[in-house]
Each structure stands twice: as structure tokens, then as C-alpha cells.
Amino acid sequence: MDLDPITAASFAIIDREIGSHPWGWTEAEYSIIRRVIHATADFEFKYLLRFSPGAIWAGIRALRNQVPLVTDVGLVAQGVKNHLALRLPNALVNALDLAPLERGVETRSALGMAQALGQYPGAMVVIGNAPTALAKLCELYPTLPNPPALVIAAPVGFVNVLEAKAQLAEVPIPQIAVQGRKGGSPAAAAITNALIDLATLEPPHQVTGSAD
């Protein structure tokens, strides 16, 4: 993968400060963690990323099979749009665009996610802002005939964030999640863009250590 000089220099600084991989990461996991640190300038993310077994390969397969990517908000979609367009033909959908203009009891993020899960079965879901969108996904999971291929969960904040992430941890679905209150659109987009890079490596067997 060719990097622009500033990104390459930034990655080199991150590599130097991280040192050898003392945390037992695979190469694929580290490529995602490094990208999140690069996007956020926050080394604490090295402690916060959680990968369910097989999650990275699930994401790679989904991207190579051209499943749609569903984001919770436009900021996440904007963070992925250009990187995706240069590499893969997958559709990119902002769930909030599917929500009714007026909310009822539930937030528009939750309503939009419910619509997206119905319209785009088996999609890769990327959540970088709204915990209510993640909670709605977890609520609907038992009813979905074709659940998401992968959930990237990085909602951020103080209200309902820990609860939504705890809900997701109980759902038997491939997932890459940011633990704790941190997250955000840049982190969610960075995880997705790192997966796009892994999915477009040639030959595919260069993706090592990601099938655990």
C-alpha cells in the first residue's frame, strides 16, 4: 500500500512509540489499531479495540463480496467515502438518511438503523456516533434473517454508550468494538478504512493473522 509522505511519517512515529507488539496483536489487528491512533492522535486506543474471533476475516470477506456499508451518521460515511471509492465498488449508505424527519419516542438514529437493517440485509454496519443506533441493532438482531456481516462499534459519549457496547458484547455477531466511552466518527472510519486496505491486498494471502 502506497502512503503519502505525511501518513508514512506518522505511521513511523506510531510504530516507534508502540515498539514491538507486546499486546499479542496480529499484523492485521495492529494495522487497524495504528490507523485509529493515526486518526485520533490517541494512544489509549491500543487498549480499547476489541476484536471478536474471526471479525477481521468477516469484514474482509464482506468487502470482497461487495456487501453494502451502512453507517449511523454522515460523518462516518464522509470519512470512508473517498477511500472506498478508490478501491472497491461497495455501496455506502447513511442510515440517518432513511429515518423519518420527525422522531417519535425513539431517536432518528435508531429509526434509521432499523430501516437500514431491513433494506440492506447482511451489510457491514459502522457506528461511530449514536449509541441508540447500536442499541437498536442489538434489539433487532434476534429477528434478522440475514444479520450484518460485521459490526464496527465506536459510539462515543456519556449517555447510553457503555450500555449499548455491553449489549453488543452479548450478541453472537462478528464485531470490532471500541470499549469504554471513547470512539467517534474518526475512529469508526479509520477501522473501516484499514479493513478496506486489508481487503484489497494482493495477493489476498498477504493478510496474515486475521482469521483467529
Which DSSP string do the residues of 129-171 spell out, in sequence order?
Answer: S-HHHHHHHHHHGGG-SS--SEEEE---SSSSHHHHHHHHHTS
| Residues linked to residue 124 through DSSP beta bridges, in sequence order | 69, 150
Mean per-residue pLDDT, 10-35: 89
Q: Which helix (H) or strand (E) holds 183?
A: none
Q: Grid coordinates representing 111?
A: 429509526
Alpha-carbon dihedral 15, 156, 90, 109, rounded to 10 degrees: 180
Question: Checking DSSP bridges between strand 124-127 and strand 69-71, what pairing results, if any?
Answer: parallel
Q: Is 21 annotated as catalytic? A: no
Q: Angle between the 108-119 and 131-140 helix axes, to the nearest 10 degrees?
A: 40
> Would you place residue 211 in the very low, low, confident or very high pLDDT band (cuts 50, 70, 90)?
very low
User: How confident is the prediction for the chain on average, in pLDDT?
Assistant: 93
On the 0-12 / 13-18 / 19+ scale of CB atoms within 10 A, 174 is buried
pLDDT value, residue 204? 53
Q: Which of 158, 109, 116, 157 lies closest to 135 in space, CA to CA?
A: 109
**Each residue's pLDDT tens digit, 171-180:** 999 999 999 9
**Each residue's pLDDT tens digit, 119-141:** 999 999 999 999 999 999 999 99
Higher per-residue confidence, 187 vs 101? 187
Which amino acid is it at 7?
T
| Residues linked to residue 174 through DSSP beta bridges, in sequence order | none
Alpha-carbon dihedral 90, 212, 35, 158, rounded to 10 degrees: 90
- Catalytic residue (one of 21, 38, 83, 205): 38
Q: Grid coordinates representing 37?
A: 491512533
- List, in sequence order, the alpha helices (H) in 49-156: 55-64, 74-87, 108-119, 131-140
Ranges 55-64, 100-109, 151-160, 193-202: which has the least confidence: 100-109
Q: Provide the CATH topology of domain 5-206.
A: Rossmann fold (3.40.50)
pTM over 0.85? The answer is yes
